[in-house]
Homo-oligomer: A and B are copies of this chain.
């Protein structure tokens, strides 16, 4: 299929839930513009121009510029939470699940960097209600990771003194990949994912890190 297998692991072409086509084109244009210049520095004329439309067309599909960001952020966080949940609730030991969660989470941040940049770093541009909704999703992401770490401690696989602090650090480490990763750089998303999975297993004091960095 032409639209599949973009980021490996079968991540179907994103934004497919956004219809009609014109609304999706505008949203994709907005993601690119927000990632390049930031939300506040992006003009509605720029977004419409990238989508090949007039500025007024934007307001047929979205009430405001902020609603565009909200939709992007909501869909992105849903995807991020889905990635973590799938890994957290999979089979295998806590060690395997944590490595899987970090690996796929990092692969998403690197492979879909423009989206991740907007999703993770433009949160403050949202209004209070929209931000509260997104913050709730973030807390769920945190809970999934903390759950794996607690499982590992209970099973004697990990050695962690400050569970909340370590969870925060692990998520922070993964998220910040979107800030520095360079698509034209020397590393592939797969390589960064594997490196980070190993680093995180070290952080939690995993007794068996397997092959380590592959």
Contact = CB atoms under 8 A, between A and B. Distances in A.
Copies per complex of this chain: 2
Interface stretch (A2-10, A50-58, A64-72, A194-202): A194-202
A177 B172 contact: yes
B173 A124 contact: no
A29 interface: no
Interface stretch (A15-23, A83-91, A148-156, A158-166): A158-166
B161 A212 contact: yes
The secondary structure that dominates the A interface is helix
Range of interface residues on chain A?
Answer: 20 to 34
A105 B177 CA distance: 19
A195 B173 CA distance: 14
Contact of A180 (B41, B172, B187): B172
Contacts of A179: 121, 172, 176
Nearest to A180: B172
Nearest to A192: B165
Pairs of residues from A and B, 8 with the lowest C-beta to C-beta distance, nearest first: A40-B40, A161-B213, A40-B41, A176-B176, A172-B176, A165-B195, A202-B202, A173-B173
Nearest to A186: B164
Contacts of A176: 172-173, 175-176, 179
Contacts of A187: 165
Interface string A69-87: 0000000000000000000
